[in-house]
Amino acid sequence: MTGDSWRERRRELLRDDPGEAERAAHLLGRLGTEDRNDEEIEAEHRANRLAAAREYAADARLDEELQLRLTGPDTDGGALRFQWGDALLEPVEHMVSAAAGTPVQLELTGISAGSTVVHARPVTTRADGFEPEAIDAPATSAASTGLGTLTTMLDALESERDIREWARLFDAVEAVSRALSRYDLDLGVTWYDANGRMRRARLTERGRSYVRRLRETKDRDQEIIISGRITELRESGLVKVKTGTAKNSPAYEVRFEEPEELVRMRPGLGDNVHFRVRFRQQLDSMGIARSAEYTYLGPAAEQTSLPIGP
C-alpha cells in the first residue's frame, strides 16, 4: 500500500460532503505525497492516539503489538497455512525470549492480508477497568527489550555484518531461518511498543544465506592427557573416564578408532588409566563450539588430567 492509495480512499469517502472534502484536501496537501507503507501509517495513528490519551492521563500507554509479515510464492491470499504456523510460531516466541533474556509468552490476535500478516501480542495480566489502548504497564516490557535487540540483530544479518555480540541468540534465530527456508518465505518483523514507537526488521534469503555460512564449522585439534578411572565400557570402542571422585567431577567419553585395540588392553570398570587423546572441537564462524570429541592416541605417563570441559 502506498501513501497515495490511502489518500485516494479518504477523498472518496468524503466526496459527498463539500466542507469535509475541502478540509481533508487541505490536510492531505499538508501531509504531502510521499509513499508510506501500512506500518508507518499505523505507527503515526498510534502516536496520535497516545498523545490524545496523555492529554487526560500523563502515564497512559498503548497495547504492545508484534506483526509478522510472511512473503513468498504462496502468501498472496493472506492466509496462514497450518504447517507454517507449526514451523514458525513457537520458534519465533523462543527467539523473542532468547533476545529478552527471560521467557516471553506471545498470543495470536489475528491474521490479515497484505501477503500474510500475523498479529500477536505479549501475554499480560490486566487489572479490571483498564482500557485496551491505555494500560498501566512497566516502563519497558521484556518483550520490548527483546524485540529491540532482535530487530538490531536481524538488520545486521541482512547487511552481513559481524553478529558476535549477539552470539547467544544465534541458535534461536537459526531455527526460524531454517523454517522460513523450508517454505520459501521471507519474514518481516514490526514491533509497536507501549510508547508509540515502532521497530522493523526483515529476514530474507540474503540474511538466511548469511546464517547458513555462519553455521559452517571447522575443526580445531589439540593433544591432551586424560587421567582417571573407567566408569563405562562399550564394545563399540568407547570408554568413559571420570577424572575425580566427587559426583560433579568431569567425565570424558574417549573413542577408540579401532575397537580391537581396546579389547587387547583388557580394561575393567574402576581401573585407573592415563590416555593421550586428540581433543577435536568443531567451531562455527563465531567461535562457538558445536561439538567435541576425544579420540584415543596412546598410553600416557601418569599425571593429572587437563581441565578441558566435556
**Are residues 240 and 182 part of one domain?**
no
Domain boundary among 162, 185, 215: 215
65: which strand partners? 192
pLDDT band at 127; cut points 50, 70, 90 = very low
**Are residues 262 and 194 part of one domain?**
no
- Burial (CB count within 10 angstroms: exposed 0-12, middle 13-18, buried 19+), residue 216: exposed
Residue 151 placed within a domain: yes
**Are residues 167 and 83 part of one domain?**
yes
**Are residues 222 and 205 part of one domain?**
no
**Are residues 85 and 176 part of one domain?**
yes
Residue 178 placed within a domain: yes
Range of the domain at 207: 37-123+138-215
Number of domains forming the structure of the chain:
3
Report pLDDT for 179: 96
Which has the higher per-residue pLDDT, 270 or 179?
179
Q: Count CB-CB contacts under 10 A for residue 212.
A: 13
Mean pLDDT of 177-201: 92
**Are residues 74 and 28 part of one domain?**
no
- Among residues 135, 108, 105, 150, the alpha carbon closest in space to that of 195 is found at 135
Which has the higher per-residue pLDDT, 99 or 286?
99
**Are residues 293 and 180 part of one domain?**
no
pLDDT band at 201; cut points 50, 70, 90 = very high
**Are residues 234 and 169 part of one domain?**
no
Report pLDDT for 219: 87
**Are residues 247 and 100 part of one domain?**
no
**Are residues 204 and 81 part of one domain?**
yes
Q: Is the pTM of this model over 0.95?
A: no
Q: Is the pLDDT assigned to residue 129 strictly greater than 70?
A: no
**Are residues 241 and 150 part of one domain?**
no
Mean pLDDT of 115-129: 77
Residue 245 placed within a domain: yes
Report pLDDT for 132: 47
Q: How far apart are CA 272 and CA 269, in angstroms?
A: 9
